[in-house]
Each structure stands twice: as C-alpha cells, then as structure tokens.
Amino acid sequence: MNFFDHQDTARRKTGLLVLYFALAVLAIIAAVSLAAFLAVYWMSGATLRLSDWWASPVFHVTAGLTLLIIVFGSLRKLWQLRNGGEALVAMLGAREVPLETNSADERIYRNVVEEMAIASGIPAPRTFVLDREPSINAFVAGFRPTEAVICVTEGALERLDREELQGVIAHEFSHIFNADMRINLRLLAVLAGILSIGKVGEFLLYSNTRRTYHFRTGRNEAAGHFAAILLGAAMIVIGYIGLFFGRLIKAAISRQREFLADASSVQFTRNPAGIAGALIKIHNGAGTILATSHAEDMSHMCFGETVPFHLRSFLATHPPVEDRLKAIDPSWLARARVRKRKAMEQPAADAAGHAADGSVGFVGSQPVATGVAATAAMGAAAMVGAVTPAHMRRGQELHAAIPDALHQQLHQPEAAQWLMFALAINASKSEPDTLVSLLELSSLEARILVQTCAQVRELDDKLRLPMIDLAIPTLKHLDKTQRQAFLAQLDRLVKADKRITPFEFVLTRILANHLEPRAERAGRIRFRRFNALRDDIQVLFSLLTHVSGARNEEAGQLFRSATASMLDKELALLPASRCKLPAIEQALENLAHSTPMIKATLVNALADLVLADGEVRAGEAELLRAICTLLDCPMPPLSSD
C-alpha cells in the first residue's frame, strides 16, 4: 500500500474503532446495571425481581449515568489532546530538546530527525525526550503528517548509536506516513472513557468507606453507604474488565502495524542493522517498559511495550521482539543470542559489531533511481510518504549543504525569522533596501538583515525548502502574538511589489499552514467526487501550467492531458490573470478536504504536468511541494538529477 491507501485504510479503521467502542460501552452498561440491581436487591430485602428491574426508572437512570460517565471521560481526554502531539508530550512531562543544546547525543538525535524530514518532504518534527526513563522507547504523535512531534526516552539516547537511533526514528516516521498517529490519539480518548468507570468506582469506594468509619450514621444511612461501597467495588472490577477490553481493542488495531513500521524502517535506510541493533539491545536487557503513570495509556503508540502483562498472545499491542527480529531477517535472532552470551562473558563487547557514534552507514544499499526517471516509473503518488535510501542520501546532502552559521540561526527564533525574511527579499523584484525599510528595524538590525540576504543569495535554490522545513519547529517557539506579527511582516514584504512569485507563494503558504492558529488540526472530508471540485482543479492546474513555461497551444495541450483523467468534461486553460491568490487559496482549501484517493490522483496529475518536458525547474518543484504540503501529503525531494 502507498501513503494514500494507508490514509484510506485508517479512515475505515476509525469506523472499526467506533464499533469496538460501542460494543464495549454496551457491555459496561450491562455490567454496571447488573451490579446496581444486586445492590438494590440487597437493600430491598430480596423482594425485587430482575424482570421488574429492566422497566424500573432506577435502571434507566443507572444506564444513562454510565453512558454519560463514559462519554464524558472520552470527551475530556479528547479536549486535553486537542492540540495533538504537543498536548500529549506536555501531559507526559517530556522535555523538548533545547534549540542550542550542548549534548552530543541530543544533537545527533535532532540531526537524524532533520535529515529524515528533508528526505521525506515534511517540516522537521519538534523533538522531545522523556527524562528518567532508562529503557529504549519512542513515539510520534499528531493529527496531521506535517504537524508531528517525536519523542524518545533518555535510555534510547544513551544506549543507541547513530545508526540504531536512525532505525528507530525511521520506524516512527513510518507511523506518520501510515496514518497511525491520528487513530492513536483517538484511541487514547476512547480508552479514557472506558476506564473512567473504574475511576468513578474508586471514588465511590473511597468516599463511602471514609463516611462509614469516620462519621456516626444511622442504620439506614449506613446501609446506603454499604450499598454504595459494594457498587463502587463492583465498578472497579468492571473498570478492570474495561481495561481488558481496551487492551483487546488496542491489540486488534495496532499490533500488525509494528511489523509494517519495522519493514518501512529497513526500506527507508537500506540498513537492517540499525533497527535490528536497537531490538537486540531491547531483547538483551535494556527493555522498553516505562515508569510514567501514563504508560498504560501510551502502550499502543510506542516503539515497544510500555507495561508488563500476561496473556501476551491476546493482549499485546506489539509482537514479541524475537518475532520482530525474525521478520527483519531470521539470522538476527541468532545474532541477538550470540551478543547476549558475549555480553555475559565480556561486558565490554556488548557494542561489538556496531558502527561508531556519528556514522551514517547504509549497509547493503544499492543505487535507487530518483528524479524524473523514478517518478515516471512509479508515479508521484507512490512517492508520497515513501522514503528511499536515495531520498535519505539526498536529505543528508541538503542538510550538510546548509552552512553551519545559517544552521545555527535556524535554531534561534529571532534569527530564523530573519532568514525567512531574507528568502522573501531575495525572491522579490524590489530593491532589498526598500523592503528592509518596511520592517521598521534599527540601523544595526537592518545591516545584519542585509548581510543575511547576501549570505542566503549565495546558496543553491534547492536549499530554500530545507531551510523552511528546519525553521518551522524553531518558529513554533514563538507565542501566538509573535507568530501573527511575523506572518504579517512576511506578508508585507511579499506584497510590496504588488506581484507574487511562485516561491513567495510557497514561502508564505507553508509557513502560514504551520504557524497559524489550529494548524495542528486535520480537516474533515467534504468532497468525495472530482466533479464537485471542477473549478478548483481548473485554477490549480492552470497555475502550474503557466509556471511550467509552456505557452499557447503547447500549454493548452499540457493542461488538457493533465486534467483529462479526472473529469467527465474537458476544461479550458485559464489565463494567468485569472489565477489570482484568493482563487488559488480557495482551491487548495477545498482540495485539502477531499478523500485520500482524490488526492492521489491529483498528485499524480500535478507531477505528470511538472515532468512533461523531462526537466524539473526549482520553481516547479517548490510549488508542487507546497501544494502537497497544503494537502497533507509528504512529498520527497523531486528533481531531474
């Protein structure tokens, strides 16, 4: 399956999750109602019949309150997680890697994430660490592929070398591309509702036990308290039953995804030694169990199991480590045993056979076709979310090509803003000094910005998108007011000459898409048919046709061939004067709310249009990447190299 198939499958899994949730809720309501009947039966002196209970108001109230508790528990957790991955890492107390960290391990971690992000065509996720967690584990979270955060344990940073960490990070990136993140967050909310019954039972048991033993009460009142204690104890038991069913739901939805993510990690890096080395260290004693009180909640989201439990074959959210090693290559399990034996005989040899820290090996990798030939062969939609070793090498090359001084500035919020201003100024036809004056800077700041513009102007245009990708997580450290001010200043620079170049559109739209309020939220699907998007397709494909440089009849033919596969009736190429910014933004807004299968066809047709002349211009590649970003489709670097 490709990225779009996974997105479509995730939508169906959401429906399956709703079904499981409904069945679990019905079972819990029945169990709570039975417990309430037994309590009332005891209080009434064994005179109440079960047949009368189902028609009694008490049953209806009990069932209604149980449903209300479950729904409230789910909605409360969903509200807590409304900001996606950032809300989850805040709940866990994870620490964000400092923008200018002095830790070598943290720098390697962030570099690996940035290289993977550039290779896959998404902004670099913000990087977090779970301190005081000595085991090896990791997770990604977010509602959108382009709005993810990634978190690893302190043990993963300390115990894994670079290639092993890269294998784990590649595994987590595959969860981004396979549409696992959104359903994982929803599953958290669903399970919170199911477990809320047990929490209410704990409250009833605790509060009524205190009243019975610490206050003088009458006989009838004491009997009522005792009944509430029994009901509370029963609800705690039912809560554990809910936990059992919650585990079953997790296992049904998440277990097979881990094999797929492991395979994707090997595919991305062409280096099975990376993820296999991490799994071997887990197998040989490092473990994956977490100490946090949220370990149970997180069990389906992490690289490995977070809590110990029995009935592994029924309730495990992850396959056994041995099975994961055998799935990568049967020989790895034997290697794990050999390394464990050597470690017992000679502790210093535990790390033998691994690449040294800082190495970037791609063992057994073969050249993979990229650029025009590869895209024509596999289709652009198949490239979305499909990172190859060639893309990884390209990501590392682009990451390394950014000068160290500029790289450091990309990790400083104020300097990152100035670099984005420099990109906008260099893309404009206006005089740099005139544009700098619009920002109302001091004379010293103005001189620094002019110097920054000169530095950026010397760079290859292919570094512009990677610089934007690296700046986004830094700019997210700005508060809401600072973000709005930054975007307003950038908009002022771009509109100063009363014309918007393709790159200016790319720059402003990608940054706004990730820095505006509610950027972390995924849009709902509103369009399921191409004909409902005719006008939007016409605007977008007309724009890209004009950017391609085609003219007259050639342009018309290019446009018709690109749109013919989508619509019943032939569209006419719009003149450039009708491809204005408001129309383009509205078109992208509507297309972003279409189904994954519609997006797949759109991406293929757009890439075919770009590649029609056998050459990929920087402006075309940037515009295609911006469109894919706004459609939440991670597009790896596309070039004619």
Q: Which residues are catalytic?
A: 172
User: Residue 128: CB partners within 8 Å, gap ≥ 6?
Assistant: 89, 94, 95, 96, 97, 149, 150, 151, 152
Chain-centroid distance, C-alpha 236? 34
b/e map of 113-147 (b: 16 or more CB within 10 Å)?
Answer: bbbbbbbbbbbbbbbbbbeebebbbbbbbbbbbbb
If residue 333 lies in a helix (H) or strand (E), which one and from where to where? helix 331-345
Taking each helix axis from N to C terminus, what angle separates 534-547 and 552-563, rounded to the nearest 10 degrees? 140
- Listed residue (211, 115, 622) closest to 407, CA to CA: 115
Cα angle at 235 between 234 and 241, to 5 degrees?
A: 95
DSSP states along 427-464: HSSS-HHHHHHTT---HHHHHHHHHHHHHHHTS-GGGH
* Rounded Cα gap, residues 519 and 515, in angstroms: 6
* Rounded Cα gap, residues 155 and 291, in angstroms: 12
Contacts within 8 Å (CB) and 24+ apart, 574-581: 574/538, 574/539, 574/542, 575/542, 576/542, 576/546, 578/539, 578/542, 579/539, 579/542, 579/543, 579/546, 581/500, 581/505
Cα angle at 246 between 226 and 302, to 5 degrees?
A: 130
Q: What is the dihedral of CA 622, 628, 629, 633, to 10 degrees?
A: -140
**Three-state secondary-structure class, residue 126:** strand
Burial class (CB in 10 A: 0-12, 13-18, 19+), 467: buried
Residue in the block written with tokens 């950027």: 519
Q: Which amino acid is at 498?
A: K
If residue 140 lies in a helix (H) or strand (E), which one and from where to where? strand 138-141
Contacts within 8 Å (CB) and 24+ apart, 225-228: 227/39, 227/40, 227/42, 227/43, 228/39, 228/204
- Listed residue (181, 231, 177) closest to 209, CA to CA: 231
- Listed residue (491, 509, 495, 638) closest to 586, CA to CA: 509
- Neighbour count for residue 517 (Cβ, 10 Å): 9
* Rounded Cα gap, residues 223 and 217, in angstroms: 9
